[in-house]
Structure formats: C-alpha cells, structure tokens
Amino acid sequence: MFVHVVDEELALKLVELSDAERIFELTDRSRLALREWLPWLDHTKTVQDTKDFIQSGAESFALGNSLNCAIVYRGEIAGIAGFNEIDEAKKTAYIGYWLDTEYQGNGIMTRVAAALTDYALTERGLNKVEIRAAAGNHKSRNIPVRLGFTEEGIIRHGEWLYDHFVDSVVYGMLKSEWLSEKAK
C-alpha cells in the first residue's frame, strides 16, 4: 500500500474501501462549500458512491494512471489529494485536491501539494506537474502560487459546474524549476 509521510502531522495514504464512510462523512458535511467548485458532488449521494470512487481509483492506480490518497492530518482523514491523471507519455501528473472545511486554514493543502509535486518530479521521474483551478476559486489557486508554479494560461469554459461553465487556470511546475528551488 502507498503511504507517503509529509511531515510529523501529515501523511498521504492510498484510499481504501475501509475509508469510505469517513470520506463520505467529510464530503457530506462540506457538500455546499465543495459544490461551489467541484463537479462531482451531485453524483456522490451515498457511501456506495464513495466506495465506487475508491474502487475506480484503485483500478486506475494499478494501471499507473492515477493516485487517490486520503489526507491524514493528526491521525484523521481530512480530505483527498493526489494525481487525477498521470500521463506517462507526456511525463506529466495532474494534481487534484479537496479538504473538509473543518481543516482549512492550517496550511495542509499547500504541504500536501508540495509533497505530491516532489514525489512526482523526484521519485516518479516525471517532468511536469499541473494544477488546474476555477478562475474564481482563489483558495485553490493560491496553493500553486505559494509553491512557485507558473500560471500557464486560462482554458475558457474549462469545466461545467452543474448549470454553468467556469474558466480553468492552469499552473505548471517543471522538474528543472522544482529542483532548482529545492537546491536554494
């Protein structure tokens, strides 16, 4: 099983079926806040929906195409983060994340995104990490900015959110840039 220690209070672990109830609980209690920016909330109505997500993610992980992790903060699952897609042909990983509202404001997601970026570029040998966020989602957009990612552009109407399109801002980090920053 994949477990990646981020620091003394934070780790990432491959999501397991036994995590489904906790993840659904977090999803359900943060539903309104998450729904503002994430398109899958209306399709996650039961614990079984969360189990289906976990099973699909496990199959994709086995093929090397993604990595869905539980964010474990001080021993409790606090959200989900990982690689929505790993494109070996392009040597690129695409980070996605969400955090229960109770845990926001503690720097958790910045540390998680840094750990995922480092893992992709140093341990997985990929060349680029991308993070995409809705143009209006400033909390999410601040994470790649804090980590020194480059804003590469805007995909107009990049995502459909229930009843409207939102533009997506693309941020990228190249391996050479990441290693240069780590060396400082």
User: Mean pLDDT over residues 111-131, rounded?
Assistant: 97
* Beta-sheet pairing, 76-87 with 92-99: antiparallel
Q: Is residue 143 part of a domain?
A: no
CA distance readout (Å), 170 to 39, 113, 150, 176? 17, 15, 8, 18
Q: Is residue 181 part of a domain?
A: no
User: Mean pLDDT over residues 26-48, rounded?
Assistant: 92
User: Who contacts 77 (Cβ-Cβ below 8 Å, separation ≥6)?
Assistant: 19, 22, 23, 26, 70, 71
Q: Is residue 48 part of a domain?
A: yes
Neighbours of 31 (CB within 10 A): 15
Q: What is the CATH number of the domain that holds 88?
A: 3.40.630.30
User: Mean pLDDT over residues 118-134, rounded?
Assistant: 97
Distance (Å, whole) CA 15 – CA 51: 10
CA-based nearest residue to 4, from 122, 93, 105, 85? 122
Q: Is residue 145 part of a domain?
A: no
How many domains, in total, are found in the chain? 1
Give me the torsion for CA of 158, 136, 114, 44, rounded to 10°.
-70
Average pLDDT score, the chain: 95
Q: Is residue 108 part of a domain?
A: yes
User: Who contacts 132 (Cβ-Cβ below 8 Å, separation ≥6)?
Assistant: 94, 155, 158, 168, 169, 170, 171
User: Mean pLDDT over residues 161-170, rounded?
Assistant: 96
Q: Is residue 30 part of a domain?
A: yes
Q: Is residue 159 part of a domain?
A: no
For residue 117, the number of C-alpha atoms closer than 13 Å in the C-beta half-sphere is: 27
Enter the tokens of residue 156: 């107009």
Host domain of residue 87? 3-129
Q: Is residue 174 part of a domain?
A: no
pLDDT class for 106, splitting at 50, 70, 90? very high
